[in-house]
A and B are shown apart, each in its own frame.
Chain A
Amino acid sequence: MTREDIIKPENLVYKRTSVLKDATMHYCPGCGHGTVHRIIAEVIEEMGIQDNVVGISPVGCSVLAYNYFDVDFVEAAHGRAPACASAIKRLRPETFVFSYQGDGDLASIGCAEVMHACNRGENITMIFINNGIYGMTGGQMAPTTLEGMETVTCPYGRDPEIMGHTMRLTEALAQLPGTYYVTRQAVYTPALARKCKKAIRQAFENQKLNKGVSFVEVTSNCNSGWKMTAVQANKWMEENTLKYFPLGDMKVNGKFDPKFIERIATFDQPNETLYSLRKK
């Protein structure tokens, strides 16, 4: 069989969405960014909005996201993507607007901007990639770093007594009346990636309703920063990160998910995962 025999429409089982440019991504193998980029691009293609969308990229590993998406993009200053997205949506309400940020960008330096954009109920989609570390600058502690976890700026493990607690910012945002849809997803298995795509599609569709922020956190690994292989990192994430940052919806159509209400009632109690990590 020749190459020409194989490349036929009837044999086609997968192709790159036209919303992604034909560019090689700079992300580390095993990182969640590439998968989430593809999911967003597919959603944009399926919704037919490629010519009516503006993306906002952050500062961090995904600073160059605009090199991969074939849609109009604005590169924000560190942490300010929600302010940028707010302005663009207000000035161009007919345009779909999404921000894309990591945990250092969103939860640390950009904490005020994300809080207030959510509190104002901006009619935008926010994508938040949480890998518990600063990836691009070389693996420093983030607000989302688990207690006990080692990074280059907490080489003996994060000690909450001197370095603060692991921040569950998404849970806080869900409690603001300006958020309409808040969910935590992951992409490290095909099943989870499919579920995540459904969530991101929902988060974009919601912009048609003008009901407030749709916020999708995607818990990811940072195998380079965590100093593990991709497989080890996913296993570690499953055993540790997801115990403290469990997957699932927190708020749907402006209403709390019953499991989320049960879960926040336990926030004043010690978390087993953090306790076991700290004991090491």
Chain B
Amino acid sequence: MAKELKLMKGNQAIAEAAIRMGCDGYFGYPITPQSEVLEHLMAERPYLTTGMVVLQAESELASINMVYAGASTGKRVMTSSSSPGFSLMQEGLSYIAGAELPALCVNVVRGGPGLGTIQPSQSDYFQTTKGGGHGDYRLITLAPASVQEMYDFVELGFDLAFKYRNPAAILSDGVIGQVMEKVMVDDYKPRWTNEYIEEHCPWAATGHRAGGKSTIVTSLELEALKQEAINERIQAKYRKCEEEDARHEAIQCDDAEYLFVAYGSAARICMKAMELARAEGIKVGLVRPITLWPFPTKAVAEIGGRMKKILSVEMNAGQMIEDVKLAVNCNVPVEHYGRYGGVIPTPVEIFEALKKMVK
């Protein structure tokens, strides 16, 4: 069986991708608007086919610590949640980063703060891209703008997580999680064997004292100088990641005089706003960051540097705009347009905001 075309929700695509790419375990807890991830996995029962473990944990605290422990043994494990639940996972993510473990977590963002709303939002940008938990660390953050990307970014997320031995996040939102689109799915790939893990993950606590020496997975180092050395090693990985793995998509930027910078569902809405603007002769392009951390600073600097003005369009009160301003070093005026608290901006609203900025 080769590739197949399916119609599915973004949340289901996450689950389907996990099964098909050979993920070893998923640990999750229900929360709207991402519960279909766990529901789809429980309906598919991959533990009977690929051997993937699926467990509904007692809380997000338990889920992220199950992911921490699973990752400690070299297995490819993941979790998903939505904003309030993702907040509960921050301590665990900090431990995963501190112990230098690869893992994948998905945040299907809803509006906050607090219990907020179950409607879509991008208000967790700061939390996800700047660390979120305690200590100096980053999450490698992927921002899907379609159901296809929800599918594709599961394997990509694991690849990046293992490349850097650092947690990776898929920062989605309630639109991409709930909308149904067609998805090209891959054939089933086998899970890694224990032998493969022993060979490729010498840091993993497999229980087998690989090389005759016991393996310890911990984020604890009480001596300040040693802890500083660990931090330096982690920061060196981050510099490498910024250099090698910042991703973006540039659309109609070549002749543009103005620029939208937007990610995820906001980028999709900007595509329609671009059509409206270009029909009226406003030459506007779009840079869509695919990785939010590392932020595509070079691309935004290079493309944005040529523009008269930049509009950062976000479903929040203005978070990514800070990274856009840093990228162009404030040499180009950058403005923000956003709706928040679960409200989705319309293409016409964004077009009006652009016209106001152009005047």
Chain B residues with Cβ under 8 A from A71's Cβ?
207, 209, 214
In angstroms, Cα B205 to Cα A64, docked, is 16
**B154 beta carbon closer than 8 Å to chain A:** no
Cross-interface CB contact of B69 among A50, A84, A96, A116, cutoff 8 Å: A84
Cross-interface CB contact of A69 among B99, B207, B208, B214, cutoff 8 Å: B214
Cross-interface CB contact of A88 among B59, B72, B218, cutoff 8 Å: B72
Chain B residues with Cβ under 8 A from A54's Cβ?
73, 205-207
B213 nearest CB neighbor, chain A only: A70
**B184 beta carbon closer than 8 Å to chain A:** no
Cross-interface CB contact of B73 among A67, A69, A77, A92, cutoff 8 Å: A92
Residue pair A80, B218 in contact (C-beta under 8 Å): no
Chain A residues with Cβ under 8 A from B95's Cβ?
77
Task: Render A50-94 as a binary contact track against B, CB cut-off 8 A, 1 for contact.
Answer: 111110100000011011011111111100100111111011100
Cross-interface CB contact of A72 among B24, B77, B205, cutoff 8 Å: B205
Task: Render A258-269 as a binary contact track against B, CB cut-off 8 A, 1 for contact.
Answer: 000000000000
**A113 beta carbon closer than 8 Å to chain B:** yes
Residue from A51, A91, A112, A113 whose CB has the most chain B CB atoms within 10 Å: A91
**B245 beta carbon closer than 8 Å to chain A:** no
Residue from A74, A80, A90 whose CB has the most chain B CB atoms within 10 Å: A74
In angstroms, Cα B212 to Cα A70, docked, is 10
| Nearest CB on B from A113, distance (A) | 6
Chain B residues with Cβ under 8 A from A87's Cβ?
25, 27, 53, 55, 65-67, 69-70, 77
Cross-interface CB contact of B216 among A75, A77, A88, A112, cutoff 8 Å: A75
In angstroms, Cα B59 to Cα A86, docked, is 14
Chain B residues with Cβ under 8 A from A85's Cβ?
69
Chain A residues with Cβ under 8 A from B219's Cβ?
75
In angstroms, Cα B28 to Cα A2, docked, is 64
In angstroms, Cα B216 to Cα A95, docked, is 16
Residue pair B69, A76 in contact (C-beta under 8 Å): yes
| Nearest CB on B from A51, distance (A) | 5
**B75 beta carbon closer than 8 Å to chain A:** yes
In angstroms, Cα B55 to Cα A113, docked, is 14
Chain A residues with Cβ under 8 A from B25's Cβ?
87, 90-91
Task: Render A123-159 as a binary contact track against B, CB cut-off 8 A, 1 for contact.
Answer: 0000000000000000000000000000000000000
| Nearest CB on B from A6, distance (A) | 30
A97 nearest CB neighbor, chain B only: B207
**B217 beta carbon closer than 8 Å to chain A:** yes
In angstroms, Cα B206 to Cα A141, docked, is 36
Residue pair A73, B66 in contact (C-beta under 8 Å): no
In angstroms, Cα B24 to Cα A97, docked, is 18
A92 nearest CB neighbor, chain B only: B73
In angstroms, Cα B66 to Cα A59, docked, is 16
Residue pair A86, B66 in contact (C-beta under 8 Å): yes
- The bracket for how many chain B residues form the interface is 35 or more
**B231 beta carbon closer than 8 Å to chain A:** no
Residue pair A73, B58 in contact (C-beta under 8 Å): no
Residue pair B62, A113 in contact (C-beta under 8 Å): yes
| Nearest CB on B from A79, distance (A) | 8
In angstroms, Cα B201 to Cα A72, docked, is 14
Chain B residues with Cβ under 8 A from A72's Cβ?
205-209, 214-216
Beyond A73-B214, A84-B69, is A90–B55 a contact (Cβ under 8 Å)?
Answer: yes
**B224 beta carbon closer than 8 Å to chain A:** no
Residue pair A112, B62 in contact (C-beta under 8 Å): yes
B96 nearest CB neighbor, chain A only: A77
Chain A residues with Cβ under 8 A from B92's Cβ?
77, 80
In angstroms, Cα B73 to Cα A54, docked, is 9
**B57 beta carbon closer than 8 Å to chain A:** yes
In angstroms, Cα B65 to Cα A97, docked, is 15
Chain B residues with Cβ under 8 A from A90's Cβ?
25, 53, 55
Residue pair A66, B68 in contact (C-beta under 8 Å): no
**B91 beta carbon closer than 8 Å to chain A:** yes
A79 nearest CB neighbor, chain B only: B61
Residue pair B91, A77 in contact (C-beta under 8 Å): yes
| Nearest CB on A from B53, distance (A) | 5
In angstroms, Cα B57 to Cα A116, docked, is 8
| Nearest CB on A from B266, distance (A) | 34
Cross-interface CB contact of B62 among A53, A56, A80, A96, cutoff 8 Å: A80
In angstroms, Cα B58 to Cα A63, docked, is 24
| Nearest CB on A from B59, distance (A) | 6
In angstroms, Cα B219 to Cα A84, docked, is 14
A binding-site residues for B, Cβ under 8 Å: 50-54, 56, 63-64, 66-67, 69-77, 80, 83-88, 90-92, 95-97, 112-113, 115-116
14 residue pairs of the A-B complex, CB under 8 angstroms, read: A54-B205, A56-B69, A64-B220, A71-B207, A74-B216, A77-B92, A83-B57, A83-B66, A84-B66, A84-B72, A87-B66, A92-B73, A112-B61, A116-B57
Q: Beyond the given A67-B216, A77-B68, A87-B69, could you list 18 further A-B residue pairs with CB under 8 A, ordered by the A residue number?
A: A54-B73, A71-B207, A72-B207, A72-B209, A73-B216, A74-B205, A74-B218, A75-B216, A75-B218, A76-B69, A77-B95, A87-B77, A91-B53, A91-B75, A92-B75, A95-B207, A112-B62, A116-B57
